Amino acid sequence: MMRAVYLVGALVFVLPHLLVTAARAELVKLHAELKGGNEVPPNTSSGSGKAEAAFDTETKLLTYTVTYAGLTGPALGAHFHGPSEAGKNAGIALPFKSTQSPIQGTATLTEAQAADLLAGKWNTNIHTAANPGGDLRVQMAK
């Protein structure tokens, strides 16, 4: 009987905390179209692509897929850059392990990286020899 009382008492205190934690967790979807005109400065690449990502606000896990076609040459580099607003350049925030389309991966972000990503301050960038600053780019957005 005493064990049942302790168990019920524990649930009274733990259950509300679990419900609040679950209510705060969110899977945020981000997506955007890659274009040469989004580069800084813009270029005339006829390539195109898309970047799609899902970010789990509780675990800080980012899962992403980037696809592209029609670049001015082979992709030499591909990254998430940030933090910066659209129209401005920034350093590499997260390098991709591959440059081959489709680029897929996961990463656990820091609090600062997560805040910048969710504030729209990360962009996806694909680099080629003809456009070393970037052949295609897009600002990640919800």
Query: What was the pLDDT predicted at 96?
Result: 97
Q: What are phi and psi of 61, to 5 degrees?
A: -90, 125
- Beta strand 136-139 with 103-108 is unpaired
Name the residue among 136, 115, 106, 119 with its Cα closest to residue 43: 136
What is the structure's pLDDT at 25?
79
Torsion angle defined by CA atoms of residues 49, 40, 104 and 95, in that order, rounded to the nearest 10 degrees: 170
Q: What is the pTM of this model?
A: 0.81
Where are the chain's structural domains? 26-139
Give the pLDDT confidence of 76-133 residue by residue, as tens digits.
999 999 999 999 999 999 999 999 999 999 999 999 999 999 999 999 999 999 999 9
Assess contact for 52 and 64: CB atoms under 8 A: yes
Burial of 56 (0-12, 13-18, 19+ CB in 10 A): middle
pLDDT tens, position by position, 21-69: 455 779 999 999 999 999 999 999 999 999 999 999 999 999 999 999 9
Residue 2 has what pLDDT? 53
